[in-house]
Amino acid sequence: MHVYDIRGPQDIKHMTIDELNELAQEIRDFLISSISKTGGHLSSNLGVVELTIALHYVFHSPKDKILFDVGHQSYVHKILTGRSRRFSTLRQYKGLSGFQKRYESEHDCWEAGHSSTSLSAALGMAVARDLNGDDYQVIPVIGDGAMASGMSMEALNQIGGEQRNMIIIFNDNSMSISQNVGAMDIAFTKLRTSRPYAALKSDLQQGLSGTKVGRTVLKGMKNVKNAIKENVVDTSIFGEFNLDYIGPINGHDLASLIKVLEASKRHKGPIVIHVLTKKGKGYPYAENDKEGTWHGVSQFDPKTGQSLAKLPAGHCSWSEIISRNVCDLARKNRNIVTITPAMKSGSKLNNFATEFPNRFFDCGIAEEHAMTFAAGLAANGKRPFLSIYSAFLQRAYDQLNHDVARMDLPVVIGIDRCGLVGEDGPTHHGVFDITMLHSLPNLILSQPKDAIEARALLQEAFSQDHPFCIRYPRGSALFACDQHVSAPIGTWTSYCSSDTIKVCVVTYGTDVDRILAKAKANEMPIEVINARYFKPMDEEMLDYILYRDIPIIVYESDMLDGGLSCAMLQYINDHDIHKHLIRMGIRDHFVEQGSIAQLRKAEKIDINSLFRKIEELLTCV
């Protein structure tokens, strides 16, 4: 059986263990070759090859519900459910998603781009099954640090109370994106190094049942299982939630995995199967990675491991630009500390962690905790910088509202990966944060147009005493550390392409310079307003542009609802100004995956669409 021949899980159910092991190696080779061309989540999928094969060998998808948490672990599942021939389209526009997608296959019963949703969803499915009188299995596979999050703990608490039949696969690779942190990981390490509980239970029962005295002792032990768990693994954390536990199991031993999974089908109530896997298994570059470099990759050379994505000369990623500037400021201000919810590598905070180890804090996948932790620091004289992806900031909205903005604490929040992010698709597009944050009192919300302005905004952020958000996109910019500008809070800047102005474009971020350059190249008489502060807006500049008799285009790369143009329309209404705005932005829907250029074109917010609109206006004035 070859990868391309697999039409569904039924095709592997009659294979021998040796044949399944051969298939596992072929799948690894296939993943490395395919992902090297498309990019994607490599190391997490290499680590779950045998586990996913065993799951589909034992269970019967789609009747049985297999959920992957985090959803980027589902590539092998896609292969075994007949999607290998579409892997050349992985994460491409109109192609195969990098996560489970309900519209994509009947085998995808859940969708998750964020972590730690599987246990809550699985319990909901198990309760629905029982209420409906059905008999399918529910199997959440949770790994990559997701077990230690608050949401997972909340779900375990109810799962232990409900006692519904559920098989929880704890895929333990001791990693999230980079290495896991915290007391939960210490507890899991203790479990990893213990002798397998399942084997001990079997050994004890066999040993005692061989003699008359032994049988008497065995019969007299009212709770052999709990006695073993408490004495061997020092009370498993899962036992505290009233969950049965088997493990640790070698996650790359197909025979053992299949044996344990078959036994789990007969278990009554919830059970946790603790599976030890190696992230990046089978590809040395990924296996030896401790910083998360091989977690999500762009195109690369499989032989050398070298990335094929090259930044232009002098450019840095936006994450790197922000991180470098925070490091510079931290050298002068000992109160500056940084916080990340498990994104040290992605947010480029490695250098800060190395230079200021006592002032760097990785909270694990716990965005809510990270935000309130930052608030506690700020309430006691520290100046925290919390770096968090826009798509994950949504999880900490309550804490930002209640614990930061309400108490007006000077937390500086770096909103990384804002705007359209491309191939990761709708779960990761950072297009909602302006809408989400604009209504919060006390909060300042901004976005730089370039690296020079990013430095100015950070200086403003750390020199004032309110919550201050700086959003910046995926991608790169020219890094310039020898130039300085000022960006006082609530100010915008005007740039003119010629002496005569006939159209005004209000925009923000990297689009400012792109629009200005194209207007100058085409000798078009427009003014570009750099609206670098969404809140507070520059009311003096607003009055200047609104009372002139020229058309205004508000060009946004985020959601229109609640965005910059909405705030401007509110100002127009409240000040009884009679002015029409032409609004360009993302309408009321979730944007699919694809390159940023493809998505902008599909959403009609690409530069060419803007300039066609400008040309239409110029013919009318």
Q: Are strands 526-530 and 476-478 parallel, antiparallel or unpaired?
A: unpaired
Give CA separation, 500 vs 78, 453, 503, 523, in Å: 57, 27, 10, 11
For this structure, is 460 an active site residue? Answer: no
| Cα 356 from Cα 45, distance rounded (Å) | 33
Q: Tell me the helix, strand and coil percentages in the chain, rounded to 5.
A: 45, 20, 40
Q: Judge contact between 440 and 405, C-beta under 8 A.
A: yes
| Cα 10 from Cα 246, distance rounded (Å) | 27
For this structure, is 279 an active site residue? Answer: yes
For this structure, is 601 an active site residue? Answer: no
> Could you tell me the sign of the dihedral formed by the alpha carbons of 9, 15, 16, 21, in that order?
negative
Query: 270, 191, 201: which is closest to 234 by C-alpha?
Result: 191
Range 514-540 burial, b when 16+ CB lie within 10 A, else e: ebbebbeeeebbbbbbbbbbbbebbee
For residue 307, count other CB atoms closer than 10 A to its CB. 14
CA 382 from chain centre, in angstroms, equals: 27
| Cα 503 from Cα 423, distance rounded (Å) | 34
User: Which of 50, 367, 423, 460 is flagged as catalytic?
Assistant: 367
Residue 421 has phi, psi (to 5 degrees) of: -110, -10
| Cα 294 from Cα 356, distance rounded (Å) | 25
For residue 87, count other CB atoms closer than 10 A to its CB. 23
User: Which of 65, 344, 395, 417 is flagged as catalytic?
Assistant: 395
Task: Extract the runs of DSSP E, i.e. beta strands, from 419-525.
Answer: 444-446, 468-473, 476-478, 493-496, 503-507
User: Which of 279, 344, 449, 600 is flagged as catalytic?
Assistant: 279
Query: 164, 187, 2: which is closest to 80 by C-alpha?
Result: 2
Residues designated as active site: 279, 367, 395
